[in-house]
Amino acid sequence: MGQTVSTEARAMYNAGLSGLTYWSPNVNVFRDPRWGRGQETPGEDPFVVSKYAVNYVRGLQEVDEGGNSTGDKLKVSSCCKHYTAYDVDKWKGVDRFHFDAKVTKQDLEDTYQPPFKSCVEEGHVSSVMCSYNRVNGIPTCADPDLLQGVIRGQWGLDGYIVSDCDSIEVYYHYINYTATPEDAVALALKAGLNMNCGTYLGDYTENAVKQKKVDESVVDQALIYNYIVLMRLGFFDGDPKSLTFGNLGPSDVCTSDNQQLALDAAKQGIVLLNNKGALPLSKNNIKNLVAIGPNANATEVMISNYAGIPCRFVSPLQGLQKYISTVSYEPGCSSVKCGNESLIEAAVKAATIADTVVLVVGLDQSIEEESLDRENLTLPGFQQKLVVEVANATDGTVILVVMSASPIDISFAKKLTSIGGILWVGYPGQDGGDAIAQVIFGDYNPGGRTPFTWYPQAYVDEVPMTDMNMRANTTSNFPGRTYRFYTGNSIYEFGHGLSYSTFSNFIISCPSTILIQLTTNLSNTISNGQAIDLSTVNCNNLTFELVIGVRNNGTRDGTHVILVFWKPASSAEVSGAPNVELVGFERVEVKSGKTESVTVKVDVCKGLSVVDSEGKRKLITGEHTILVGSPSEGQVRHHFNVRLPAESGDKGIVST
């Protein structure tokens, strides 16, 4: 996807219609299900977000010449945003400009920072954007520890640090963090900011230098970082038409291959949440199909936010019409807000004479978007009433399609016996209608997994969105956040997703013991449950391979996403370890009745370390557990020990 986006970006640039700096991707973890910008992210898990970030950034930036990636040149410049602990836009009167995120060292290290660290260290992103909010009292764009200290000092950013738009003005004007605009500018520059999306650096830097609030050399260094990225993009290499991407133009935009990729991505992302045997539908058995719902004929809704001009639209209704030409349509609601019941009666009447109903409900940018967080998890307005009355009115099959970026409490729908299947489709892009129809009618066997926990409404009734804590706290009755720490009940758990096939996982090989070498002369008599500081462990090449077998027991070919979770050893020395944590995932295509093997590589220091209350990573000795598969599909467990060598010749990874 990243490569395709950057190719089209270069083509648009050559036509004079775009630049070459793209402030994407958003790599904030989807911590709270109400966040309006969750649609921009790949989910609630830091490992998934990190993998996405690295691959998307590389796809955007890397210049592939003759099969070799050239490290210095940039195809386009990517930017990982919004650094850091940013995921409150506007919720119950609290907005991102005024919000002070109170974050523990533990949560910062193992939840909020990992995607950004991966962006810089593994993806080699050329820019990082600091956010509007404060973290523990300090605006992120004015924090020298977060910017100069971590991004550039610890992680080694090769590029520039940019503010979110008008962030300097925000902390001067909105929260009065500094006495003057010159103070605000000086603070940002000295903290490590190199570019301001906005006017403050342009308006006040000269005066800040004259007033000796910031040294001119700091300004020079900021300019150097910016110009280096321009040089890497080829701005000073001569005639653009003679350079690597100079031949790209309008004909390279909206190509058939690119549009097929969009369709494939949409299909891969669809999650089959429930199936009572109703799916897939057979077009030969349908006489009267009706599409109902405020998103049943959606177009622009499907492309979410920050979208360009699509090549075309195929709405869900249009997709269904390619299978059943006589599909009838009733919106049921005039919009997703569904503020009145006036259209429900007509929808119910259409359902009574239909043998098949496809209900497409959900959200859009009027409910969840930048600067607009949700306050509840239910379907807006009278949508739930629409679903219930339509489902109760028909004697036929009802398929519920949920189009939204974030989870919705649809527990009521799971209980309705007439609803034979439920799909979550996200915002599926320009060809979403084709993707939905192909899944519903079985031309594509779904294999998507939900990237977040589906909480009940009671969760958000109890948990303020502004509480940044991840870990459960029994004293305060705080249930925790995301599958890693949540202790309550879920409608659907992270990683849930069904198929029209039945897959079984089994472990072919995995180490029984992992021996760790220390870089210091600590005693080798360390007992189980001891937390060893990761800085004392020799992490070089400390990886192991997990070989998993996947058998397709069904009658259909299909793709299966293998999820590998890890449950850490217990230790009295570290509190707040995750319940479980994802350490690997792979998608594999398996033919009906066949078995495929998949190898998942696990980095011990990155994947199997926990974080203590001081934000220090630790490796726990003792028995750890690998769990293959999501909780809803039946997990295969494997136990292994992490320990020090018993003697000098005892080293390496011991396999089963």
Q: Which residue numbers are catalytic? A: 164
Q: Is 316:296 a contact under the CB 8 Å cutoff?
A: yes
Sheet holding 134-135, edge to edge: 100-101, 134-135, 138-139
Residues 6+ apart with CB under 8 A from 322: 434, 437
* Coil, helix or strand at residue 462: helix
Q: Could you tell me which of 544, 407, 502, 417 has the C-alpha nearest to residue 31?
A: 407
Contact 459, 405 (CB under 8 A): no
Q: How far apart are CA 16 and CA 1, in angstroms?
A: 23
- Is the separation of the CB atoms in 7 and 13 below 8 Å? no
CA distance 321 to 315: 10
Q: Confirm if 228 and 194 have CB atoms less than 8 A apart.
A: no
Identify the H or E element spanning 217. Answer: helix 216-232
Q: Cα angle at 287 between 281 and 289, to 5 degrees?
A: 65
CA 576 to chain centre: 23
- Sequence letter at residue 441: F
Quickly list DSSP for 489-536. Answer: --SB-TT--B-SS-EEEEEEE-EEEEE--BSS---TTPPTT-EEEGGG
Query: What is the SS3 assignment for 28?
Result: coil
Q: Residue 404: what residue type? A: S
Which of 218, 148, 160 has its CA nearest to residue 186? Answer: 218
Q: What is the dihedral of CA 283, 287, 292, 295, to 10 degrees?
A: 30
Would you say how long the chain is, in residues?
656
b (16+ CB within 10 A) / e for 328-365 = ebbbbbeebbbeeeebbeebbebbeebebbbbbbbbbb
CA atoms of 480 and 460, how far apart (whole Å): 12
Residue 188, SS3?
helix
Token reading at 268 = 């891969």
Alpha-carbon separation of residue 321 from 73, 263, 327, 383, 504 (angstroms): 47, 17, 6, 24, 35
Please report, as a single letter, which amino acid is at residue 655.
Answer: S
Q: Tokens at residue 390, please? A: 């339509």
Residue 35: CB atoms within 10 A of its CB come to 25
Is 459 within 8 Å of 406 (Cβ atoms)?
no
Strands 328-330 and 271-275: unpaired
